[in-house]
Every structure is written in structure tokens, then in C-alpha cells.
Amino acid sequence: MSFSRDRAPVPMTSPSESSGPLIQSLQRGMRILELVAQAEAGLGLGELARRMDLGKTTVHNLARTLIATGHLAQRRQPTRYVLGPALFELAGRQRTQALHERAAPVLLALSAEFPGSVALLAESAGVEVRVTLRAGGGNPGVVERPLDRFSPPYANATSLLFLAHRDEQERRVFEARHPFWELGAHLWPDERALEDYLQQVRAEGYAAPELAQPSGVLPIAAPVFSERGELVAALGLAYRSDKKPTAAVKRRLIERVRTAARSLA
């Protein structure tokens, strides 16, 4: 959900509606959201009332209702109305749905191109990494939407990709939830080796860890970035073959996954 500064005000009447009167209070509430969205620093009560050509008491009551539903928030010093968390949550859901719609055919194409392999989309769920879409494996031609499938920390290409892009505060929360000595020490020589690999992931733009994997299995994950450069998802491929992938095959697989991830950005 986006709010453009150039959008026209929401009309108080709609010429296409002929079945009955519109809800005036709802129209006014939407108008408040439009006006607040157009002001970077928010709007005070007096300015909002002036722009709406309404009394302060009426605008205050409307704004109070929108604050109660989470669609507006109120800042202090000076007191101003700004967009609330409920609107950003709606916008996030809309972006997620759009991402899933774009990702589904990409995952199907990857799983069909590499039979027996699994293509997936993983997204952040707090400090966890949740697999939200999955295609291939024992259910070819179908995009699954797992409800409780999470990537294990320190051991998985998608979880390592997200770990490489977490900020300092997120890392502290992650490490408190998933102590390295308990969950990662058997996978990595030491924490320095892990940090070196995470730096490599950031520099190269993908994760393809060569940990203890069965012969012929290669996990790869590439980032899906937002227009602001934020990591919003990881596109992964759990490649499976009868024999160990050669260096040339590995390069081709990595480039294929990176290209697919860029198409979702």
C-alpha cells in the first residue's frame, strides 16, 4: 500500500454509486488518512481541521477512532497525527501476496528444470526463517505453502543468507535464541569461521555452504531485495543429483538461482 503525494483527494460523492447514500464518516476517515499520508511530518489537529473544512471536535473524534483501530498514531512535541501500524501491516501483507504470486511460477520452473530438487521461498519471521513456498521433491508441479517449516540456524543456506544480512541488534537477539556453542559448534570450526563465511555471503551475493551434505546435494540461496535494498526473502534451491556436482555445474546452478531471485526483486 502506497500513498502518493500527487493523488487527488477522495471525493465525498461517487457518480458511479446509485444504490444509496455513502457513509460520510467513513469518507471523512479516509480523507484524514490521505491528508496525513501526504505530510512527511504528520499534521496537527488545527491544520487537519482547516484542510477538511470541519470543526476540530469532529476531526478529533474521527482521528481518535482511527488511532483506536491502529490506522493513525499520535506523536508528541509537537502533537501531530501520523499513519499508524495497522496501515503498514496491510501494506506488508499486500507486498507479501504480490511476492508470492510472482514467486510461484519461478519455483515451479526451477523444480521442473532440476527434477528431484526442491525450490523454495523463505522469509523472516522475527529471528526465525520460515519457508513460505515450496515446489518440487515428492510433489512435482505443485506449490506448497507450509505452515510450520523453518530453516535450521547455522546449517541451512537460507538461514545463513538471512544471518549474513542481520544488523547488530538482530544478531544479538538471534544468538540469544540460538546459541552458537549449542547449535553451530558441530557445523563450523569456530565462530570466526562462521563470520568469515557470512562476510563471503555478503560479498558474493549468495549462500551455498559446503557443510556436511550427502553426495549429490547442494543447497543454494540468493537474496530477494526490496526497492530500498532491504532483504525481504531468500530464493533457495536444494539441488539433488545422483553424483556430486562439478565446479562447472555448481557455477551454473548458482547463477540460475541468483537470476531467478533478481527477477523477484
| pLDDT per position as a tens digit, 140-191 | 889 999 888 999 999 999 999 999 999 999 999 999 999 999 999 999 999 9
Where in the sequence is the domain holding 196, given as residue range(s)? 89-263
Q: How far apart are CA 265 and CA 260, in angstroms?
A: 9
CATH code of the domain covering residue 230: 3.30.450.40
How many Å is the Cα radius of gyration of the chain? 24
Share of residues in the chain with pLDDT > 70 (%): 91
Mean pLDDT of 118-124: 95
Phi/psi of residue 221, nearest 5 degrees: -145, 140
Q: How does residue 229 score in pLDDT terms, banded at 50, 70 and 90?
A: confident
Same domain, residue pair 118 and 214: yes
Same domain, residue pair 63 and 93: no
Mean pLDDT of 52-61: 92
pLDDT at site 18: 53
Give 3-state DSSP helix, strand, coil % of the chain, rounded to 5.
45, 20, 35
Mean pLDDT of 63-72: 89
Same domain, residue pair 211 and 159: yes
pLDDT over threshold 90, residue 95: no
Mean pLDDT of 87-111: 85
Exposed e or buried b per residue across 217-227, where buried means at least 16 C-beta atoms within 10 angstroms of its C-beta: ebbbbbbbbee
> Does residue 256 belong to any structural domain of this protein?
yes
Q: How far apart are CA 110 and CA 118, in angstroms?
A: 8
pLDDT over threshold 50, residue 241: yes
Average pLDDT, the chain: 87
pLDDT over threshold 80, residue 219: yes
Same domain, residue pair 150 and 236: yes
CB 230: neighbour CB atoms within 10 A?
Answer: 10
51 or 10, which is more confident?
Answer: 51
pLDDT at site 10: 42
pLDDT at site 265: 84
pLDDT at site 4: 35
- In the chain, how many H helices and how many E strands? 9, 7
Whether the predicted model's global pTM rises above the 0.85 cut: no
Share of residues in the chain with pLDDT > 90 (%): 57
113 or 20, which is more confident?
Answer: 113
Phi/psi of residue 225, nearest 5 degrees: -100, 150
Query: What is the number of structural domains in the chain?
Result: 2
pLDDT at site 83: 85
Same domain, residue pair 79 and 29: yes
Among 65, 83, 101, the domain-final residue is 83
